[in-house]
Amino acid sequence: MSIGTDVASVRQLLGNMISQLDRGSAKPLGEVLLHQNGFYVGRSFEFAEVRAIWFEEEAQIKLYDHEGRFLESICLFESVERVESVERVESVERVESAPRAEQLHRSAA
């Protein structure tokens, strides 16, 4: 999974982050493409109390309040790695618990 290039996933992640920070409505008010020297570099998302800047190449999002104070930064690659590691742990737990469930089923029969 590559959240670094999926705009819909970034929008969803931003909504979740803003809700968790309890910084007003997570409903976006606007979105602007960011260009530098004629090249696309990311997007800016405007919310009621927060402005988020997504630097696509760096796979990083930075949140600021409307006075320009830094609130939080998140590296999208690290987020994906955390999600994937949780999925791997859950898979291992399911595999490891399967033999135990079979043993319980056999002993009950």
Q: Please give the chain's pLDDT, 109 residues, in tens.
A: 344 457 888 888 888 888 888 888 888 899 999 999 999 999 999 999 999 999 988 889 999 998 999 988 888 876 544 444 434 444 444 444 444 445 444 555 5
Q: Bridge-partner residues for 55, per DSSP? A: 42, 60
Instruction: Name the pTM for this structure.
Output: 0.63
Domain limits for position 17 = 3-108
Q: What pLDDT is attached to residue 5?
A: 59
Number of domains in the chain: 1
Structure tokens at 18: 């803003």
C-alpha distance from residue 83 to each of 24, 53, 73, 90 (Å): 26, 22, 17, 11
Per this entry, what is the length of the chain? 109
Burial 15-48 (b: 16+ CB within 10 A, else e): bebbeeeebeebeeeeeeeeeeeeeeebbebebe
